[in-house]
Structures are given as structure tokens and as C-alpha cells.
Amino acid sequence: MDKLIISGGKPLQGTVAISGMKNAALPILFACALNKEPCILHNVPAVKDIETTVGILSEMGVTIRYLSPTSLEINGKDFKPCTSPNTLVRRIRASSYLMGVELGLSGQTRIAFPGGCDFDGGRPLDLHMKGFEAMGAEMRTYHDGYTGEAPDGLFGAKIYLNKASVGATVNLMLAATLTPGHTVISNAAREPHIVSLARFLNECGANILNAGTSEIQIEGVASLHGCTYRIPPDMIEAGTYMAIAAATGGPITLTGVYPEHLQATIDKLCEMGAHITANNALETVTVSAGDQLTAIELETQPYPGFPTDMQPQFAALMAVAKGTSIIRENIINGRFAYLEQLKRTGVKTIGEAKDTACIEGVERLTAANMTATDLRGGAAMVMVALMAEGISEIRNVHLIDRGYDDIEGKLSALGADIIRRSEDAPSAPAGSSPLMTSSLPTP
Ligand code: EPZ
């Protein structure tokens, strides 16, 4: 396993190209298994969760050919339902999408418990199950996974989600695409990745209406055909680099972004005092820090509200903002495990409950060694390490690699002093004065 070694306190500026959206690419890759004709996907991010998904689908008979590091040709003709490899399935949350695909294709599913970032409150799949049951499947939990059976095949149904769950919305869209009849998903998630999945499936001949609203209508079709599709930019990777610009000075210009997906993040960064210009036509956003970040109150909400996946990165900004900030986490229970690690750099909380944190800004942070707890918490650790004077190390980088394409390469190009080493490589004493990169141990 790897660690990142960061010598912080350097102003960052320049241009960074944003990769394709992980959480759109994942369901779209699984959706390719519904299709007997080849599809070509462009702008697929080169991140670990995609690599795992490619591994799962390949083991299940899907042929996947890399045309470039970010373009894939995927042929689902020989996909074999109910043959998923347990070890890989347990690595990612998105492997739950196999249930929708398998039930929609064959009326049967069997998968190990999906993994993914582990939050204190757990990540139940009850809404997925209820939806499949409404469509005629009998779902069961066995000792290490799920099975489902719809002996007569699924049928179209009206499904109400009592939470606007991203995963349940995706899974039910996948299940309904080839299912005879009309399916309605009410209180559906409205995230851009849902819209992107619907666009992709419709390009392949599906009949999905109103994705992006809270009532999605799906008329099942008999089969899909091949298409070429470009994955939209990752709004969370973009938000993270915007927060990094606010933390380290900037200006940093992000290219290949859709500013309309970033409104909630832009709004909160401006409230904290950052300067932002967005250009829809050029698909760019430029961010620079103001004189002094100021405290804010933040509440996570389903899209178009403030995303839970940006909450830890904002905690890192609040750590140096003037005054006391408050975060209320409404989407994912227990998403504050990362705070204990941030505190090693001097981040000060003055109150924490399961879903609330109060952070009092301090003047400066000090370098420290940290261990990533999850993907976005890991990104927050990178941010505090970039702000702190001296050398910090972040272990468990594989969690950050799940969703950030070449984070050390992109940050180095912005002027950061950051390198990746094996966790076995000797550590510099935490907080020691900045070493030149060249004096760090070589791989
Ligand atoms: C997706 O997870 C994303 N993952 C997450 O991104 C993101 O944090 C989350 O949506 C919220 O935006 C992928 O797209 C692969 P949910 P998902 O179903 O689908 C409750 C990242 O950092 N719930 O909207 O798991 C439960 O409390 C990751 O990129 C139920 O109670 O999100 C859950 O925590 C992490 N029952 C919350 O809703 C259910 O059946 C949000 O779940 C489903 C959800």
C-alpha cells in the first residue's frame, strides 16, 4: 500500500483538467451488461473503483477493451448473471448495481455484500430491496450476500422511495430498462449521475423520461443497441480542487467542468470569501482565495443541495476560517470519522454529535501523519497537509485512489510538493521542516 508525503505551506496555482464523473461512469459500466451490442465510453476516469468494476464485469463474461486510458469499448453479449466474483464485489458499493442488471436480464440475482467507503452509520440497501420486491422479485439476505428471484420475470411497478437514494434510483432504473410495462420511481434522486445514466440508456434505445426530476418514468424495451457516450465531468473532483484553491491561494482554473453542477459548492465557497468566476461556454471555473476565509454553516442535502461528498473538504477549509463553523450531515450517518485524523494537524472542534460538527478556525495548522478513513475524508487530509507547514504523511492512499485520478500528478502540476511512496518506505519525522522532494527516499 502507498502513502502520500506532502510538504505543505506552498501557494498553488495553475490549471487542472477535471476527469469524468466516477459516480456516473460506475452505473453506466454496469448498464453495458444489459446490452448485447458494444458501447464505447469516453472520459471514463482512471480511478480504482472503475478498475474494480472492469474486473468484476470481465470475470462475468463482458469483453472490455481499453482504446485509451479513458476510453473503453464494452461488449455485454456474453455477460453471465449470478457469477460475480465475491472479492471484487466486496470492494465497492456500486457492485450492488449488479442486482438490478441481473434481475432485469434473468429474473435472478446473487451477489456478495457490496463494500465501499465504510461509514459509522452503515449503508443499508433496504430501499433497493423494497423496489425489487415491488417489481415482483423475492429478495433474501444470506450469510454473506443477497439473492433475489422473480420466477415469472420482473414487471413494471410504481415505487416510492422514502429517501431520495442515489443507489436505489440507479438500481431500479437498471432493473426497469428491459422489464415489460411501466415503472415509476417517485422521490427519485436527482443527481447529475442519474441524468447521465438515463441519457446513456436512452442513447442505447431505452425509454426513460424525467430523470433529474423526482419522478422518473420508465417504459421497458425489449433490447438495447450499442452507442458512443461521453461521461460528464466529476462534480466532486471539481469541488475538491476548488476547495484546494481556496485553501492554498490560487488562482486555479479547472477545465472540462459543468459549472451548473457546482452551484452549491460555488455558493458556499463565495460565502466563505473565495473569489470565483465560472464560464459555462468554456466549461471552466477559476477560484482564488480571498484575504481571509470566514466561518459558515453548512447542511448537506440531496442534489441540487450541498453534496455530502464535499462535506469533509469544507471541514478542512473551516479549520482555518475565522470564527466557528457548523456542519450538519443529513445524508450519510456517521460521516465524521475523518475529523479525528484532521485534529492531528491542529484542527479544532468545539462540539461533535453523530451528525453535527462545530469547527473553530485556527491561525495555522501543523504537519502530521494521518491515515485516510474514506475517500473524501482522505481528500480533506490532503487539503490540511497542503496548508500545514512541514511534512505530513497520509496512509491508506488506496482509499483516495478510489475516486481521484492521479491526485499527486495534478497537485504537483499546480506547484504542490507531493510524492507517493510505499507505506514501507521510511517516514520523515512528522512536522519536520520542509524537505526538498529530492531528499525524500526514492521508491
Ligand atoms: C452514492 O452512494 C455515492 N456512491 C456516494 O459517493 C454518495 O456519498 C451518496 O450517493 C450520496 O450522494 C456512488 O454513487 C457509487 P444513497 P449511495 O443510496 O448510492 C440511506 C463518494 O465519496 N439509505 O443516496 O450509497 C443511508 O443512510 C461516495 O463518491 C437507506 O437508508 O447513496 C445512506 O447512507 C461515498 N437505505 C444514505 O441514504 C437505502 O436502501 C445515502 O444513500 C439506501 C440509502
Q: What is the pLDDT of residues 278-336, one digit of tens each?
A: 999 999 999 999 889 999 999 999 999 999 999 999 999 999 999 999 999 999 988 99
Task: Compute how many other C-beta atoms are within 10 angstroms of the C-beta atom of residue 217.
Answer: 17
Mean pLDDT, range 356-366, rounded to an integer: 96
CA 429 to ligand 1 center in whole angstroms: 38
Q: What is the model's pLDDT at position 333?
A: 87
Q: What is the model's pLDDT at position 438?
A: 39
CA 210 to ligand 1 center in whole angstroms: 21
d(CA 93, CA 95): 5
Confidence of residue 115 (pLDDT cuts 50, 70, 90): confident
DSSP structure class, residue 270 = H
pLDDT at 121 over 90: no
pLDDT at 417 over 50: yes
Q: What are the Cα distances from residue 230, in Å, to 25, 200, 264?
A: 9, 9, 24
The alpha-helical segments, DSSP class H, found in 336-421 are 338-342, 375-387, 397-401, 407-413
Handedness of CA 9, 13, 18, 19 (dihedral sign): negative
Mean pLDDT, range 35-53, rounded to an integer: 98
Mean pLDDT, range 332-350, rounded to an integer: 94
Instruction: Give the H/E segment covering residue 277.
Output: strand 275-279
More confident residue, 350 or 232: 232
Handedness of CA 416, 420, 424, 426 (dihedral sign): negative
Q: What are the Cα distances from residue 255, in Å, to 174, 242, 406?
A: 31, 11, 16
d(CA 168, CA 305): 19
**Phi-psi map region of 273: left, alpha, beta (phi>0 left; psi -120 to 50 alpha):** left
pLDDT tens, position by position, 179-220: 999 999 999 999 999 999 999 999 999 999 999 999 999 999
d(CA 60, CA 56): 6
Q: Which three cell numbers stand for residue 275?
A: 473569489
Is ligand 1 within 6 A of the CB of residue 376? Answer: yes
Do residues 382 and 394 touch, judged by C-beta distance below 8 A? yes
| Percent of residues, the chain, with pLDDT higher than 90 | 90
Closest CA to 318 of 360, 263, 267, 374: 360
CA 412 to ligand 1 center in whole angstroms: 31
pLDDT at 400 over 50: yes
Q: What is the model's pLDDT at position 442?
A: 38
Q: Tell me the pairing of strands 138-142 and 369-371.
A: unpaired
d(CA 112, CA 118): 16
d(CA 440, CA 425): 10
pLDDT at 350 over 80: yes
Best mutation site among 163, 308, 329 for ligand 1, i.e. most ligand atoms within 8 A of its Cβ?
163
Confidence of residue 437 (pLDDT cuts 50, 70, 90): very low
Q: What are the Cα distances from residue 39, in Å, to 75, 203, 323?
A: 6, 10, 51
Q: Tell me the pairing of strands 145-149 and 138-142.
A: antiparallel
Confidence of residue 430 (pLDDT cuts 50, 70, 90): low
**Ligand 1 atom having least distance to the Cα of 23:** 14
d(CA 97, CA 29): 10
Confidence of residue 120 (pLDDT cuts 50, 70, 90): low
Is ligand 1 within 6 A of the CB of residue 311? Answer: no
Q: Please, what is the average pLDDT of the chain? A: 94
Do residues 34 and 101 touch, judged by C-beta distance below 8 A? yes
Is ligand 1 within 6 A of the CB of residue 335? Answer: no
pLDDT tens, position by position, 132-187: 999 999 999 998 899 999 988 999 999 999 999 999 999 999 999 999 999 999 99
Confidence of residue 229 (pLDDT cuts 50, 70, 90): very high
Q: What is the model's pLDDT at position 146?
A: 96
DSSP structure class, residue 207 = E
CA 166 to ligand 1 center in whole angstroms: 6
Please compute, for residue 153, the number of CA atoms within 13 A of its CA located in the half-sphere on the CB side.
12
d(CA 325, CA 105): 49
Mean pLDDT, range 65-86, rounded to an integer: 98
Residues known to be catalytic? 117
